[in-house]
Chain A
């Protein structure tokens, strides 16, 4: 180490008198203290978890697009986002099948999406198509949750579309509006 012997002369062999050298060593303790204080400050002030961006593609609203294909009702699932964090879903056209009310999350929507996705895959041989229809009473969190479920369950195609009056009636009837 770069420490110089400063224990004072006297034991030197030969008894030569040397000029006493001052130590070149600086006490770094205070400096380290300061540095760690600043580190703590910067660690606490920086945001550790950066917000994430969830990409969302909306269907083109342009009526002029010609390559619109009709969608088979048997493989389309409609999600109606209602009030009080409730979601109603049905497969096919509104009115023909009775909707089921469910909550968001692992045991509600996610289970249904996985089950129905498999069923549709088996019966038609094609992937399921999900239509997300938020009502005016649903909030932003509901929409983000729904899209997140799509990403988790690996639904290949989904779209956010406007809710139809007939579907609003369904929500109202079930007390979710």
Chain B
């Protein structure tokens, strides 16, 4: 009678499928990852039950924190043209290097007179630089208003789109600052804009 042999099985598992899955997920996460722009001031945004996500492009965002206003607009081409136009308006010449740097600058909050010096700094220096916010007062000709107006013009001329404007404010920001900002927007006949919020966990009725 032949002996029944117990077949020995290999203990190694086939890793191919697991590897496939892992790399698929990895690719997904790499492609969806968006570099987070760091705010120059800490901004704790309020929560709401709104579920509408912010659009990915064609956005002008005004960040408000500690009474200062910071300006950011999407699109490198828009930023570059915007700087040239603002330079013309205020009679400031920006060098091509400064223009390149500005095109890659996601957010800033310095008066235009100090913008040249700010752009000459390297990344580390810019981080340490105490940005004082873009001047905005209630008069008709304030810098913030000019930035917004020129940005809208540039967007229309380059892409033929109307720029979407949103305000990102800190929870503790006092109303007068927001009121001034809304006043600036309303002077330009911008009556519709968005407030950036995070999602509230429990929207019970």
Contacts of A52 in B (CB 8 A): 48, 50-54, 196-199
Bound-state Cα–Cα, A35 to B27, Å: 10
Would B29 and A147 count as touching, CB distance under 8 A? no
Question: Which A136-167 residues have a C-beta within 8 angstroms of B?
Answer: 136-145, 147-148, 151-152, 160
Segment among B17-25, B101-109, B131-139 that sits at the interface with chain A: B17-25
Would A135 and B166 count as touching, CB distance under 8 A? no
9 more contacts with CB within 8 A, not counting A31-B19, A32-B15, A46-B34, are: A39-B26, A42-B26, A51-B53, A52-B199, A136-B175, A136-B176, A138-B175, A144-B195, A160-B182
Indicate if B97 sits at the interface (CB-CB under 8 A). Answer: no
Would A46 and B19 count as touching, CB distance under 8 A? no
Indicate if B113 sits at the interface (CB-CB under 8 A). Answer: no
Instruction: Known A46-B33, A51-B54, A51-B198; judge A140-B191 contact (CB<8 A).
Output: no
Q: Which residue of B is nearest A44, CB measured?
A: B29
Indicate if B114 sits at the interface (CB-CB under 8 A). Answer: no
Tally the A-B contacts, defined by beta carbons under 8 Å: 148
Instruction: Known A3-B10, A140-B169; judge A55-B49 contact (CB<8 A).
Output: no
Binary contact readout A40-61 vs B (1 if CB under 8 angstroms, 0 otherwise): 0011011101111111111111
Q: B-side binding surface: helix, strand, loop or mixed?
A: mixed
Indicate if A63 sits at the interface (CB-CB under 8 A). Answer: no
Would B29 and A43 count as touching, CB distance under 8 A? yes
Would A140 and B29 count as touching, CB distance under 8 A? no
Indicate if A27 sits at the interface (CB-CB under 8 A). Answer: yes
What number of A residues sit within 8 Å (CB to CB) of B? Answer: 49
Give B contacts to A, CB under 8 Å. 10, 12, 14-16, 18-19, 22-23, 25-26, 29-30, 32-34, 36, 45-46, 48-55, 64, 166, 168-176, 178-179, 182, 186, 189, 191-200, 203-205
Would B197 and A46 count as touching, CB distance under 8 A? no
Contacts of B46 in A (CB 8 A): 140-141, 144-145
Would B170 and A140 count as touching, CB distance under 8 A? yes
Bound-state Cα–Cα, A151 to B50, Å: 8
Would A152 and B172 count as touching, CB distance under 8 A? no
Contacts of A141 in B (CB 8 A): 46, 171-172
Contacts of B170 in A (CB 8 A): 140
- Please provide the 4 A-B residue pairs with the shortest distance between their CB atoms, ordered closest to farther: A28-B15, A35-B22, A42-B29, A53-B194
Would B22 and A56 count as touching, CB distance under 8 A? no
